[in-house]
A = this chain, B = another copy of it.
């Protein structure tokens, strides 16, 4: 199965399966059915089986899934524990929050350097990560192979620093700046635009909506 053939919707569910499997292995559950995994993740059991089948299965009829084995397969598929080097660009509140988010560094995603233009921040350390002058970004990337750049800077300068990153071998951009980036075809951009999840939440909040649409459909 080629990566490109698997739909993004499936891929977005994998980290949720991984989270559930991690929780299960923490409480020493050794096997689980797709039905139980459905309860934990909120997805339909048949969808879960179908998703996992697209990576080769991992389950057995009448037995379910071996938690440890499935978790390890998710780790392999998601490249967890493969020691990715990251840089963080923009040490504002969001940047600091991400630097302090311990979970992903425990899983092999390491922020090796942070960059900002504020002289008061340059030279300080946040959670063990040194803040450097953003003007030294290109030079740093030349000398230090970096897999992922985390963009937590203002949207007006996001493209400029994204380009510096991709020009220097960065292959993945975790973009928190509300700006659609232009990158070379081989570069992966994952946008985290917080508004979008708020609007998704908001969608469900209006009770009156249902009737309105029904009356429109009659037109």
User: A1-B213, A56-B213, A94-B97 in contact; A197/B190 too (CB < 8 A)?
Assistant: yes
**Closest CB pairs A-B (n = 7):** A94-B97, A93-B97, A15-B196, A190-B201, A15-B199, A93-B96, A188-B204
Which of B14, B196, B203, B204 makes the CB contact (< 8 A) with A203?
B14
Residues of the B chain whose Cβ atoms lie less than 8 Å from the Cβ of A27: none
Q: How far is the CA of A80 from the CA of B198 in the complex (A)?
A: 10
| B197 and A174 within 8 A (CB) | yes
For A94, list chain B residues within 8 Å (CB): 93-94, 97
Provide the residues of chain B in CB contact with A194, threshold 8 Å. 98, 101, 104, 192
State the copy count for this chain.
2
Residues B84 and A92 in contact, CB atoms below 8 Å apart:
no
| A201 and B213 contact, Cβ closer than 8 Å, known pairs A94-B97, A195-B15, A196-B16 | no
Query: With A195-B104, A206-B82 in contact, is A201–B216 under 8 Å at CB?
Result: no
Complexed CA–CA distance, A76 and B178 (Å): 22
On A, residues with C-beta under 8 Å from B are 1-3, 9, 11-12, 14-16, 18-19, 40, 55-56, 76-80, 82, 84, 92-94, 96-98, 100-101, 103-104, 107, 109, 147-148, 171-174, 178, 180, 188, 190, 192-206, 209-210, 212-214, 216-217
> What are the residues of chain B within 8 A of A206 when measuring CB–CB?
79, 82
Which residues of chain B are within 8 angstroms of A2 by Cβ–Cβ distance?
Answer: 210
A200 to B175, CA, bound (A): 13
User: Across the two chains, which residue of chain B brings its CB closest to A214?
Assistant: B1
B55 touches A202 (CB 8 A): no
Please tell me if the beta carbons of B77 and A204 are within 8 angstroms of each other in the complex. no
Q: Is the CB of A78 within 8 A of B202?
A: yes
A9 to B212, CA, bound (A): 22
